[in-house]
Amino acid sequence: MSKKIVILNGSPRPNGNTAALIEQFTKGAEQNGNQVVRFDLQRMNIHGCLGCCKGGKNPSAPCVQNDDMNKIYPHYVDADLIVLASPMYYWGISGQLKIAFDRLFAVAECDANYQNPVKGCILLMAAEGDTEENFEPVRHFYHSLLKNLGWKDCGIVYAGGNMDAGAVLQKPQQLQAAFDLGQSIQ
């Protein structure tokens, strides 16, 4: 059965390595009949969470802030699978992605017990470093996040060794891994 997939793209570089991974992933996923919606967070007007804990009153626009998160919320609620796509910035996800993810708390606030909707999740990450050690902090963050949300890990592509925008285009194995992961979704 086809899945609804939401990609949160945390890279600011339109022709960067994360974008190339997303393109391949999307090709694979769409070839398999899945529906993919992508949000390029850098181009959106999204503010950081205020920590007011006053959201959750209106399910279609659950946050007290009215910005471009309102374009994401309905797709997020509907989605089977969320793709976190990001360059590694200081051994973490980019600020663009973290800010958007924090704002998803407003959806949990719609539930009396602050339950997050249960999703599958995928991580696509480009980075300069290419060692196990370099990816360890992100691996830990990603798996802790999923454990606490009760989400299922549906796959990860760590594309290391890529500094310049487009460097990953010279690494067919990494592009193939992103494509194969997309195609594995059913």
Ligand X SMILES: Cc1cc2nc3c(=O)[nH]c(=O)nc-3n(C[C@H](O)[C@H](O)[C@H](O)COP(=O)(O)O)c2cc1C
Name the residues that contact ligand X, by CB under 6 A: 11, 13, 16-18, 87-91, 126-129, 134, 162-163, 165
Pick between residue 99 and residue 149 the one whose CB is nearest to ligand X.
99
Pick between residue 23 and residue 80 the one whose CB is nearest to ligand X.
23
The least CB distance from residue 11 to ligand X, in Å, is 3
Return the residue nearest ligand X (CB atom): 16
Pick between residue 117 and residue 129 the one whose CB is nearest to ligand X.
129
The least CB distance from residue 137 to ligand X, in Å, is 8
The least CB distance from residue 96 to ligand X, in Å, is 10
Number of neighbours of residue 112 by Cβ within 10 angstroms: 7
Rounded to an integer, what distance in angstroms lies between the CA atom of residue 101 and that of residue 93?
A: 11
Pick between residue 17 and residue 26 the one whose CB is nearest to ligand X.
17
Pick between residue 12 and residue 117 the one whose CB is nearest to ligand X.
12
The least CB distance from residue 91 to ligand X, in Å, is 4
CA 134 to chain centroid, in Å, comes to: 20
The least CB distance from residue 164 to ligand X, in Å, is 7
Q: Is 61 helix (H, G, I), strand (E, B) or coil?
A: coil
The angle subtended at Cα 107 by Cα 102 and Cα 111, nearest 5°, is: 130
What b/e sequence results for 126-155 when a residue is b if at least 16 CB atoms lie within 10 Å of its CB, and e otherwise?
A: bbeeeeeebbeebeeebeebbeebebeebb
Residues 6+ apart with CB under 8 A from 58: none
Sheet containing strand 152-159, edge to edge, reads 35-40, 4-9, 81-87, 120-126, 152-159
